[in-house]
Amino acid sequence: MFFENNLIKSALAGLLMLPLGIAAQESVVIKLVNPSFEDLPKCCEAPAGWYNCGNANETPPDIQPGTFSVTKAPSHGETYVGLVVRDNDTWEGIAQRLSRPLEANKCYEWNLDVCRAELYLSFSRTTGEQVNYVTPAKLRIWGGMGYCDKRELLYETALITNNRWITTTMRLQPKTEGLSFIFVEAYFKTPTPFPYNGNILIDNASPIREVPCAQKPPVAALPTNPPKTVPRQPTPGPVKTTPTTPKPRTDTTTKSPAAPVVVTNKMDRKNLKKGSIIRLNNIYFDADKYDITDRSLPALEEIYNFLSNNPDVSVEIGGHTNSRPTEDFANTLSTSRAKAVADWLVGKGIAANRVQFKGYGKKYPIESNYTEEGRMKNQRVEIKILSING
Residue range 12-19: average pLDDT?
A: 47
Q: For residue 239, is pLDDT > 80?
A: no
More confident residue, 284 or 257: 284
| CATH code for residues 250-387 | 3.30.1330.60
The DSSP line for 254-266 is PPPS--S-EEES-
Task: Give the integer Cα–Cα distance in Å for 52 and 58.
Answer: 11
Q: What is the mean pLDDT of the chain?
A: 80
Predicted local confidence at residue 49, as pLDDT: 94
- 178-215 pLDDT, tens digit per residue, is 999 999 999 999 877 789 999 999 999 999 999 999 87
Listed in sequence order, the residues at least 6 apart from 110 whose beta carbon sits closer than 8 Å to its beta carbon are 141, 155, 169, 170, 172, 205, 206, 207, 208, 209
Q: Does domain 29-241 have CATH number 2.60.120.590?
A: no
327-347 vs 297-309: helix axis angle to the nearest 10?
60
Listed in sequence order, the residues at least 6 apart from 184 whose beta carbon sits closer than 8 Å to its beta carbon are 83, 93, 94, 95, 112, 139, 140, 141, 142, 202
Predicted local confidence at residue 81, as pLDDT: 97
Predicted local confidence at residue 233, as pLDDT: 37
Q: What is the dihedral of CA 230, 234, 240, 245, to 10 degrees?
A: -30
Predicted local confidence at residue 33, as pLDDT: 95
Parse the chain into domains and list their residue ranges.
29-241, 250-387
Q: Which of 249, 256, 250 is nearest to 365 (CA)?
A: 256
More confident residue, 106 or 275: 106
Q: Which of 76, 48, 55 is nearest to 186 (CA)?
A: 55
86's enclosing H/E stretch is: none
Task: Give the integer Cα–Cα distance in Å for 366 and 265.
Answer: 16
Listed in sequence order, the residues at least 6 apart from 58 whose beta carbon sits closer than 8 Å to its beta carbon are 86, 90, 92, 125
Task: Give the integer Cα–Cα distance in Å for 154 and 35.
Answer: 19
Q: For residue 97, is pLDDT > 80?
A: yes
CB atoms closer than 10 angstroms to residue 338: 24
Residues 360/378, Cβ–Cβ less than 8 Å = no
